[in-house]
Amino acid sequence: MGQFKPVVGAELRAKLDHPVIDGDGHIAECTFALDDFLKQVAGPELAARARQARPTGGPHGATVKGFWWGMPSGAHTGDRALAMLPRYLRSRLDDLGFDFAHCYTSVGLGQVYLFDAEIRRASCRALNTMYADMFRGTGDRLRPVAVIPTYTPAEAIAELEFAVTELGFKAVMIGTEIRGAPRPDDGGDPFRHGTQSTRSIVMDSPYDYDPFWRKCLELRVTPVCHTSSRGLGMRASPSNYVFNHLGDFAEGANFFCRSLIFSGVTRRFPQLTFGFLEGGVAWALNLLNDLIEHWEKRNIDALLENLDPAKLDIPLLANLFAEFGDAHLTPERIRATPIDGMAVARPAVFDEFAACELRQMSDLKPLFVDPFYFGCEGDDRLISLAFNRELNPLGLPLKAVFGSDIGHWDVHDAPTILSEAWGLVDAGMLDRDAFRDFTFTNPAMMHLAMNPDYFAGTVLADEAKKLLAQHRPAKAA
């Protein structure tokens, strides 16, 4: 980030008057340990099948270039261990300048989308059981995040209940899509390649997921999206991971966010909070502006007034064709086919904003601004867009959430992660209040809004009570 000057996180934290929460670090799972838990939860036969089904070349298989040379090494081997050993991470949190940290899966980002239902469910159950075991004794400062597969509402509810009620999880990451197997490459047909089909679990879904959202409310957990779009459509290069990775999580989040709005989930469940991690916030501001511009031109009143083919002034068209046309563009021809190839019968779903009941621009505050939190890494300059009220058509900030991404290739020196984020303050792109919101208020409220007791028993218990007293979220269950 320009003239970034690395400062050890502990030095920077000592100058802050608020805690720092890592909203998105990662676990670097050891497959040998995971295999132990697979045998425990599913038996040796299914565990062997799961091992054989593990994709090579990343979560999308060898046909799509995936995550490679993706974890710290060499002089940064200790940073790699931070993501492998929770007790070691806890012992280093003060060096990093973090008061509290959330730890999300690495391998589970793909395992929630395994095609075989038995293997998918067993793999996620094994991951959650392993996390509960490996993070034992660190709960005052670390929080592992359970992995919830969602190919059907039933499997989602079953794993959510198990993770929360049996294993004691308070944070979850959910699958947001139902993916189909890639079309195999037959070696000669350029139209057969390794891309996957995908559909949202809520937009035009084959299932009703409302029971799952009700279960999230009942168990007081925020459903968090950490969805990759690699392997889909235009991110399926077999040769270049960086090509596939650019915009990866932003597009996965965008797809799920649009689905939640247009399927009416945020209207039907105003108490729900959602997180979208590692994609930044620029896509969200763009989506909000696009939503408003589309609604202004395509709400039902505007459609009927300005775009109804039945209101076409054919005499006017004919006169203009007579004056400005040519031998091909004649008034006779436009009179005969005035609609030409643009004729579309009025569709059964005429008001495409009906499910979310968007009737005026201010409706987007409860539908979009209030429920959504957007995970950003500290070296992202576009975080500043979240706090720019002039760019936001509603005049409100979006809720950016600080995430370290510890354990992955973009963290080269873990003790300087926080000072990378502070570089935005030094550059005049964030003020101190925005930095506080980014590194403490928003990461805390993403979970407190659903569960006021989220930080009970942790080092942040008292600070959480003070924060809630200031914010009094209407979403608290």
The per-residue pLDDT for 233 is: 78
The per-residue pLDDT for 475 is: 47
The per-residue pLDDT for 160 is: 98
- Give me the tens of pLDDT residue by residue for the chain, a chain 477 residues long: 445 566 789 999 999 999 999 999 999 999 999 999 999 999 999 999 998 877 654 444 457 888 889 888 888 899 999 999 999 999 999 999 999 999 999 999 999 999 999 999 999 999 999 999 999 999 999 999 999 999 999 999 999 999 999 999 999 999 999 988 766 665 666 665 566 778 999 999 999 999 999 999 999 999 999 998 887 878 888 889 999 999 999 999 999 999 999 999 999 999 999 999 999 999 999 999 999 999 999 999 999 999 998 899 999 999 999 999 999 999 999 999 988 777 678 888 899 999 999 999 999 999 999 999 999 999 899 999 999 999 999 999 999 999 999 988 888 889 999 999 999 999 999 999 999 999 999 999 999 999 999 999 999 999 999 999 998 654 444
By C-alpha distance, which of 234, 269, 238, 272 is closest to 252? 234
Are 79 and 72 within 8 A, CB to CB? yes
Residues 372 and 399 in one domain: yes
The per-residue pLDDT for 462 is: 98
**2 inside domain:** no
Q: Is 469 exposed, middle or buried (0-12, 13-18, 19+ CB in 10 A)?
A: exposed
Angle at 16 between CA 12 and CA 21, to 5 degrees: 85
Are 83 and 25 within 8 A, CB to CB? yes
Residues 38 and 65 in one domain: yes
The per-residue pLDDT for 59 is: 47
**459 inside domain:** yes
The per-residue pLDDT for 22 is: 98
By C-alpha distance, which of 287, 276, 183 is closest to 233? 183
- Say how far apart CA 460 and CA 6 lie, in whole Å: 27
**18 inside domain:** yes
**355 inside domain:** no
Residues 100 and 233 in one domain: yes
Residues 327 and 451 in one domain: no
Residues 380 and 327 in one domain: no
Residues 205 and 308 in one domain: no
**436 inside domain:** yes
Q: Residue 402 pairs with which residues in a beta bridge?
A: 376
Residues 307 and 420 in one domain: no
The per-residue pLDDT for 179 is: 87
Residues 304 and 169 in one domain: no
Residues 53 and 168 in one domain: yes
The CA-based dihedral angle spanning residues 33, 36, 40, 42, taken in that order and rounded to the nearest 10 degrees:
100
Q: Domain range for residue 464?
A: 9-297+367-471
Residues 322 and 290 in one domain: no
Q: How many domains does the chain fold into? A: 2
**116 inside domain:** yes
**351 inside domain:** no
Residue 446 maps to which CATH number?
3.20.20.140
Q: pTM for this structure?
A: 0.93
The per-residue pLDDT for 7 is: 74
Residues 88 and 43 in one domain: yes
The per-residue pLDDT for 198 is: 87
The per-residue pLDDT for 60 is: 47
The per-residue pLDDT for 190 is: 61
The per-residue pLDDT for 57 is: 45
Residues 199 and 264 in one domain: yes
| CA gyration radius, the chain | 25
Find all residues with CB under 8 Å of 241, minimum gap 6, and list them.
Answer: 58, 65, 66, 67, 68
**348 inside domain:** no
